[in-house]
Amino acid sequence: MTTDASGSNPFAGFAGFKPADMLDRMWDMMRMSPFGGMAPFPGAASGLPPSLSSMSDMMAPLTSVEELDKRITDLRAVEQWLKLNLGMLQSAIQALEVQRATLATLRAFGAFAQSSMSAAEEAAVAAAQAASASRADARHAPDAEAAASDWLMAGLWNDALK
């Protein structure tokens, strides 16, 4: 943000920016500096702060219809500018809330995926260990086909059927 040489006008860098001109005029009408203390009004001693009645010029009844129309137009323009800024601020807040919700959802999905992957990995390791244990048991057990053929060859099946 730029200021003028005296440092009192924060809108000096926006010379072509009409809303800034309106704000400058609005602050001038109130004879206040928005980013400091009360600005001295014309004719006041430079060392003395102005009284609070300096804002009364803003509220004083005007006798000229043209001046009233000008002030109404200026204040309506400021109102529209503030509404625009309010809309942009609300949109920015809503976008940040959506971003926060998205990040929370992604973190929850990531945690769920990590826990399910570790559970699947543990199940795969357990299945591999069970399969290797059953192969080891099969090696130590007699061959089922060889035992069946020996039983049939010996004719024991005839004795078993009687």
Render pLDDT for 39-64 as a digit per residue (tens, 0 to 9).
555 555 554 444 444 455 556 666 78
Structure tokens at 143: 């061959």
User: Does pTM top 0.95 for this prediction?
Assistant: no
Q: pLDDT value at position 156?
A: 54
- Residue 149 C-beta-side C-alpha neighbours within 13 Å: 5
Average pLDDT of the chain to the nearest whole number: 72
Residues 85-136 have pLDDT tens digits of 999 999 999 999 999 999 999 999 988 888 888 877 888 888 888 777 776 6
